[in-house]
Structure 1
Amino acid sequence: MKPARHHLARCRRCSAPIVWCLTSANGKRQPVNYEPDETGNVAVMQGADGKLYVRAVTAARPEIRPGEWQAKPHQATCPARQLPGRSSAPSPRAVQGVRPVPWQR
């Protein structure tokens, strides 16, 4: 099962097709790949309000229920994502205004 076309969006970084879902745990928005994937670790379903909801597929709840489809979070597959340890922020500047003499008691 695929999400409806009106849910389709594009990733700002790589332009891949994604859908925005609300997490079932805390209601935050999460980008998920538009194409279903049997190796994915999330289950997506459309709620009665027309919004998409996502939950993690865990060992405690591994089954995909009727009306859900399995997918991958887009952060896991985005080719333009930032790699760990590589920040786009500039490196910290040297500390200025340091005492030139050691502290004395």
Structure 2
Amino acid sequence: MKPSTSLITICRRCNARICWALTTAHGRRQPVDAEPTEAGNLAVMQAADGVLYVRSITAARPDIRPGEWQAMPHHATCSSPPPRRSSGGQRARSGVRPVPWQGRQS
């Protein structure tokens, strides 16, 4: 089973077709590849309200239920490297550098 075309969007970094799904464990958004694959470690299903839900395939629950399909998380297959958060080099400093407070001598 594949997701409906209205749920498919494009990754901003690599232009791949993805879907956004909510995790069943915490309700957080997770990008999932739109194409089902046998190598996937996620089970995705579309609820009656049209929202996609995703769960991990584990040793405790390895089966794919009716209405689910197997997919890969897009973070694992994205061909673009993740953005760097810091340059690691010198950065421009601005403002006042804090000076340790020294108590009054009486």
Shorter chain as denominator, the TM-score bin is 0.7 to 0.9
> What is the deviation of 1:91?
1.2
2:102 equivalent in structure 1: none
Aligned to 1:6, what secondary structure does the other structure show? helix
> What is the deviation of 1:92?
5.1
Taking only aligned residues, the RMSD between alpha carbons, in angstroms, comes to: 2.2
Percent identical residues:
56
> What is the deviation of 1:88?
4.3
TM-score, normalisation: structure 2: 0.81
2:13 equivalent in structure 1: 13
> What is the deviation of 1:81?
2.9
1:35 equivalent in structure 2: 35
Unaligned 5+ runs, structure 2: 92-96, 99-106
| 1:80 maps to 2:80 | yes
Equivalent AA in structure 2 for residue 49 of structure 1: D
Which one has the largest radius of gyration?
2
- Alignment map for 1:1-105 (pairs within 5 Å): 1-82=1-82, 87-91=84-88, 93=90
Cα distance between partner residues in 1 of 2:86 and 2:77? 23
Cα distance between partner residues in 2 of 1:92 and 1:54? 39
TM-score, normalisation: structure 1: 0.82
Q: Runs in 1 of length 4+ with deviation above 3 angstroms? A: none
Equivalent AA in structure 1 for residue 61 of structure 2: R
> What is the deviation of 1:49?
1.2
User: Do the aligned partners of 1:75 and 1:81 also contact (CA within 8 Å) in 2?
Assistant: no
Aligned to 2:45, what secondary structure does the other structure show? strand
